[in-house]
Structure 1
Amino acid sequence: MIVRLVSEEGEMRTAKVGFSWTVFFFGFLVPICRGDAKWAVIMFAASVLTLFLAQMVFCFTYNGTYIRELLAKGFRPGDDYSRAVLVAKGYIAG
């Protein structure tokens, strides 16, 4: 499922909900491409320190973390479908 999030300035971001195949294959490069430098550093350090076992954990958690951080920065669902998905998954209140 892909949700659309829109900022007050009109900037639109899309994010997948659930398992991240891109993190599975590309690891810390995904947050770099999304402009999320903080998580790129965290993921790189954790992966190196755990011999890349942490990357398996991030496959399950990164998309949710990315969505929560966008919501904290003021992004809101861009359409009714996105709102319904975010409510169903517990990211926002109904």
Structure 2
Amino acid sequence: MQDPFKGFNDDDDQNNQNGNGPQGLPLPPNYATVVNADGNMRIAKVGFSWTMLVFSPFPTIFRADWYNLLCILGIELGASMLLVMTVSVNQLAQVTPVLQLVFYVLWGSIYNMMYFKHLFNRGFVPADDRSRDLLTQAHYWTQPKEK
């Protein structure tokens, strides 16, 4: 595939400080690439997940991240059951939207970290130095200790 950005400026290294994504396309500065031993590659954002804030829990489904989807649904179901058992019926209509907003902000804040941590548990590692530095700086990745 031909690079669509080729020809704008010949000093390609000056403008492409963010590494290369698939087919040599540049990645945004807050995206990291991880790869496993089989060569499977995943690219995801590091930091706050606006899609989880707005569309929770659909990003987990689109990423086929079934483990985190079940964790999120289990925590929300448990909190909802606890809420129903402890709050009167009159207060339930007032408390439920607040609890939903709290969960949306919580999942937006931590979902990308949950996704990367699960990938690391499945054998994925940062694909390049830029991704490793970005994940280390965000405290998503720690260097494994050598034996």
Alignment of 1:41-60 (within 5 A): 41-45=70-74, 46=76, 49=80, 51-52=99-100, 53-60=102-109
Name structure 1 gaps, 5 residues minimum.
Answer: none
Greater radius of gyration (CA): 2
- 17, 21, 27: which is aligned to 2:50? 21
Q: What is the TM-score when the length of structure 2 is the normalising length?
A: 0.58
- Across the aligned residues of Structure 1 and Structure 2, the Cα RMSD in angstroms comes to 2.0
Greater fraction strand: 1
Deviation at 1:28, TM superposition (A): 0.6
Name structure 2 gaps, 5 residues minimum.
Answer: 1-29, 81-95
**Residue 47 of structure 2 contacts residue 138 of structure 2 at CA under 8 Å; is this kept in 1?**
no
> For 1:16-46, what per-residue CA distance to the aligned partner results, in whole angstroms no more than 9, with x for missing partners?
1110011011101110111111222332451
State the partner residue of 1:68: 117
Number of aligned residue pairs: 94
**Residue 35 of structure 2 contacts residue 42 of structure 2 at CA under 8 Å; is this kept in 1?**
yes
Question: Which stretch shifts more, 64-73 or 83-92?
Answer: 83-92
2:143 matches 1:93: yes
User: Separation in 2 of the partners of 1:18 and 1:83?
Assistant: 14
Greater RCO, CA 8 A, separation 6+? 1
Query: Percent identity between the aligned chains?
Result: 32
Runs of 4+ in 1 over 2 A off after TM superposition: 41-45, 47-51
